[in-house]
Structure 1
Amino acid sequence: MEFLRPASWREALEAKAAHPDATPIAGGTDVMVELNFDRARPGALLDLTAVPEAAEWAPDGSELRIGAGVPYTRLIDELGTHLPGLAMASRTVGSPQIRNRGTLGGNLGSASPAGDGHPPLLASGASIEVESVRGSRVIPAEEFCTAPKRNALEPDELIAAVRIAPASGPQQFSKIGPRNAMVIAVCTFAIALHPDEQRVGTGIGSAAPTPIRAREAEEFLAAELDWSGRGVLPDSVAKRFGELVAQVATPIDDVRGSAVYRRHALSVMARRTLGWAWHEHCSGRQECA
């Protein structure tokens, strides 16, 4: 196995072009597991840890551009106030050691339906910037994962960054696993309220072949909410929202949970996260409940 260690982003792109079968590695929290269990044996490893551009983030117009090599710990510490939903999801990833090493780009690259970083990106309307020596392009987050463990990257492309607007309203994330910490999700759910646009965003993980949005649920809720923040959230609206979220899921039975359980859990998580987000939206208004 060949080991490639570029020192700049340009060198990384050139190395990927010359070795399209090379597997990128940054934190290694997914790749090394695959190697250790002999589930993958790439012709080359492309080590991106010495590429400074990959570990940078900065405002870019109305968005934040977050390098693919920014680890979860920095997402929490440095971007938690800007992207609370993504920070909440990041806190559920593995142990502190894993969060120090693991990266959002790696989570996207592995394209697992259970990836914790995916649902908040969907709820926020994020996009993925990918690049090769041929140029760059931007892929909507909901189109990036194409099948379990498959993504929209061409063989010579690398994930450069995630592009995401700072939160314009409350965001919440919920995860269910067989124990309280360091688990692969049975299912996950993210919600983002966008009051200025009177729009709702959702993201579902580990309940379909790829992370998905619940579009019908989003449209229903956006039409039912009193965006002035002065209305009580009716139980019937929260219940119907949960039902619509569960209906879009196509889960399977596996060792972590049954399809029936996953649908039920998603309905409950959708109602609860909506309640938390609505309470935050109404914070300080006595008329809210």
Structure 2
Amino acid sequence: MEFLRPARWEEALAAKAEHPGAVPIAGGTDVMVEINFDQRRPEQLLDLNRVTELHEWETGEEEVALGACVPYTRIIEDLRRELPGLALAAHTVGSPQIRNRGSVGGNLGAASPAGDSHPPLLTAGAEVEAESVRGSRRIPVEDFFTGVKRNALADDELIKRVHIKKASGPQQFSKIGTRNAMVIAVCGFSVALHPESRSVRAAVGSAAPTPFRALAAEDFLGAALEEEGLWDSGGALPPSVTKEFAGLCSAACNPIDDVRGSAAYRRHAVGVMARRTLGWVWDDYRGGAGSGAGRAAGDEGGSRCA
């Protein structure tokens, strides 16, 4: 196995162009597990740790440009106000050691249906900036996942940044696993309120071949909030609305049976998570009078497991 170690981004792109089969590695939290268990044996590993710009981020007026190698710990500590849903999801990733090494770019590259960062990226409205020696492009995260552990990157492309819209309202995330910590999600769920556009985004992980947005549930809830005048009043959600939203999220799933859970359990769990997570995010909206991003990770309330 050849170990490629570029010092600059341009060198990394050139190496990827010359060796399209080279597997990028930074934290190694997914790749090294597969290598250690002999599930993968690439001819080249492309170490990106010396490429400085991949470990940086920029906060603009409307979005955060997150370097592909920024670790989860930095998101939790430094970006929880701008990206509260992603920070909550980052809290649930592995152990502190894994959060210090793992990154959103690596999570996207692995493209696992169970990736913890994927639902909040979908609800926040993210775009993946991919680049090669041929040029760069931005891929909406909805179009990035093409199958189980497959993504839309060309063979010579690398993820440079993830562009994520800053929260304009409350965001929440929940996760179910076979234990309370250091576990791959049986299911993940994220919901975000966008008061300015009076819209809702809801996304599910580990309940279909790819992470996905529950579009019918989003449309229903957005219309219900408008019809009931709840965007303005901040009143309590009618139980019938919560129940229908949860049912639509559950119905959107296309899960499988595996060692972590059955398809039937996943459908049921997503409905429970949707109901609970909607309650949390609506409480945040009512508490902030609809204007803020609600409680962020690390504030009172912290991350939650359904």
Q: Which TM-score applies when normalising by structure 2?
A: 0.92
> Aligned with 2:211: secondary structure?
coil
Partner of 2:35: 35
2:240 is equivalent to residue 236 of structure 1: yes
Q: 2:284 aligns with which of 276, 280, 283?
A: 280
User: Shift of the alpha carbon at 1:89?
Assistant: 0.4
Between stretches 157-166 and 226-235, larger displacement belongs to 226-235
- Alpha-carbon deviation of 1:84? 0.6
Give 2:147's aligned residue.
147
Task: Check if 1:222 corresponds to 2:222.
Answer: yes
Q: Is the 8 A contact 1:85 1:172 kept in 2?
A: yes
Alpha-carbon offset, residue 230 of structure 1? 2.8
What secondary structure does 2:212 align onto?
coil
Q: How far did residue 61 of structure 1 move?
A: 5.0
Partner of 2:159: 159
Task: Determine the C-alpha separation between the residues in 2 that align with 1:269 and 1:112.
Answer: 20
> 1:92 maps to what in 2?
92
Give the residue type in structure 2 aligned to 1:14.
Answer: A
Moved over 6 A (4+): none
Q: Whole-Å Cα distance in 2 between the matches of residues 19 and 61 of structure 1?
A: 38
Secondary structure class of the residue paired with 1:197: coil
SS state at 1:282 partner: helix
Instruction: Using the TM superposition, give the Cα deviation of residue 260 of structure 1 relative to its aligned residue in structure 2, in angstroms.
Output: 0.9
> Partner of 2:154: helix, strand, or coil?
coil
Aligned residue among 266, 282, 290 for 1:262: 266
Q: CA RMSD in A?
A: 0.9
Deviation of the 1:231 alpha carbon: 2.0
Task: Check the 8 A contact 2:234/2:285 in 1, yes or no.
Answer: no
Query: SS at 1:17's partner residue?
Result: helix
| Structure 2 unaligned blocks of 5 or more | 290-306
Question: Where do 1:116-131 residues align within 5 Å?
Answer: 116-131=116-131
Determine the C-alpha separation between the residues in 2 that align with 1:284 and 1:105.
32
| DSSP-derived class of the 2:244 partner | helix
- For 1:77 and 1:209, the matched residues in 2 are separated by 32
1:142 Cα offset (Å): 1.1
Q: Distance in 1 between matches of 2:288 and 2:207?
A: 36
Structure 2: which amino acid aligns with 1:21?
A: G
Provide the C-alpha distance between the structure 2 equivalents of 1:185 and 1:280, rounded to a whole number of angstroms.
24
Shift of 1:60: 4.1
SS in 2 for 1:196: coil
Tell me the residue number matched to 1:176. Answer: 176
Match of 1:73 in 2: 73
Correspondence 1:175-194 to 2 at 5 A: 175-194=175-194
> What amino acid does structure 2 have at the position aligned with 1:263?
R
Pairwise CA distance, 1:43: 1.0
Q: Does 1:246 align with 2:246?
A: no
The alpha-carbon deviation at position 218 of structure 1 amounts to 0.2
8 Å Cα contact 1:229/1:281 also seen in 2: no
For 2:162 and 2:18, locate their aligned partners in 1 and report how far apart those are by CA, in whole Å: 24
Partner of 2:8: 8
Does the 8 Å contact 2:58/2:64 carry over to 1? yes
Give the number of aligned pairs. 285
Whose RCO is larger (CA < 8 A, sep 6+)?
2
1: distance between equivalents of 2:103 and 2:45?
A: 16
Indicate whether 1:49 and 2:70 are aligned: no
Identity of aligned residues (%): 65
**Structure 1 gap segments, 5+ residues each:** none
